Amino acid sequence: MYKILVIEDDVMMSDMLSMYLSEEGYSVSQAVRADEGLRLLIDWMPDIVLLDLVLPDRDGIEVCELIRERSNVPIMIVSMKTEVSERVHALKAGADDYMCKPFSMHELSARVEALLRRSHSLTKADHEVHSEQGPADNDDPVQLDLERRLLVVRGQLIETTFSEYELMKLFLAYPGKVFSREELINAIRGFDSFVTDRAIDVHIVNLRKKIEQNPKEPRLIRTVWGFGYKYTVDKPAGAEPQ
């Protein structure tokens, strides 16, 4: 049974989420304060976190960053804040999805299921991707730690969000292939969740900060203008714009 941690100070909303998700077969724990939620994160080890941005003791964005520092658990923001800037801020803080209140419980369940399905994909699937990459290339600056779902960047273990890891796994499986933003969206969300092109761009920016020697002049994740992105370890022959 998957475990869902709900960090929400609106008791009525929290109870409603808990009741619905419990009926869907999930084990749910509730926290009305950030400090309580962070404690449960460590003690209870949930499979996914639903996080409100307005909490009585801490700012939700700060809580999101603290969760991401401690865990790779998928984080879904549930908030009254509908501005695009808030969504972007949350994604930069490490969130994997964002739902604006009020929302459909059916849609919430679909998004939770999509995140869990990808987060807890079979180890076999990870090894299949690893096989597609072929033998490890010592010159490749980025590799996957499949067991811990971490990146190994120039010999250093690097933590990522769930979405960042899935994107990097796809890039490494198909080096040199140009992916459209739509293909990248489908890779991390599937067809039953909504995410924008802007969200993909934010994830790419965050990945570049983690794997590029100079994120302002990326040489690994390269922009294909008007289409999408590709991953390559080859040195560019010319001055291709980023």
Classify residue 63: in a domain, yes or no.
yes
Is residue 17 domain-shared with residue 107, that is, in the same domain? yes
Query: Do both 158 and 103 map to the same domain?
Result: no
The reply to whether 110 and 17 lie within a common domain is: yes
The per-residue pLDDT for 104 is 92
If asked whether residues 110 and 159 sit together in one domain, one would say no
36 shares its domain with 85: yes
Helix H or strand E segment including 133: helix 123-133
The pLDDT score that the predictor gives to residue 238 is 45
> Which pLDDT does position 218 carry in this prediction?
93
One-letter-per-residue 3-state SS of 33-100 = CHHHHHHHHHHHCCCEEEECCECCCCEHHHHHHHHHHHCCCCEEEEECCCCHHHHHHHHHCCCCEEEE
pLDDT score at 208? 94
Tens digits of pLDDT across the chain (242 residues): 899 999 999 999 999 999 999 999 999 999 999 999 999 998 999 999 999 999 999 999 999 999 988 888 999 999 999 898 898 899 889 998 999 999 999 999 999 988 888 776 533 344 444 444 444 445 679 998 887 788 999 888 888 888 888 899 999 989 999 999 888 887 776 533 456 677 888 889 999 999 999 999 999 999 998 889 999 986 544 444 45
Residue 210 belongs to domain spanning: 142-231
Q: Within this chain, do residues 12 and 88 fall inside the same structural domain, yes or no?
A: yes
Which residues 6+ apart lie within 8 Å of 58 measured at CB?
34, 35
pLDDT on residue 149 = 80
Asked if residue 239 is part of any domain, the answer here is no
| 101 and 18 together in one domain | yes
Return the structure tokens found at 90. 């949350």
166-185-125 Cα angle (round to 5)? 35
Note whether 107 and 187 are same-domain residues: no
- Same domain, yes or no, for 62 and 27? yes
Number of domains, the chain? 2
Q: Same domain for 115 and 9? A: yes
Q: What are phi and psi of 78, to 5 degrees?
A: -125, 115
> Which pLDDT belongs to residue 69?
84
- What was the pLDDT predicted at 95? 92
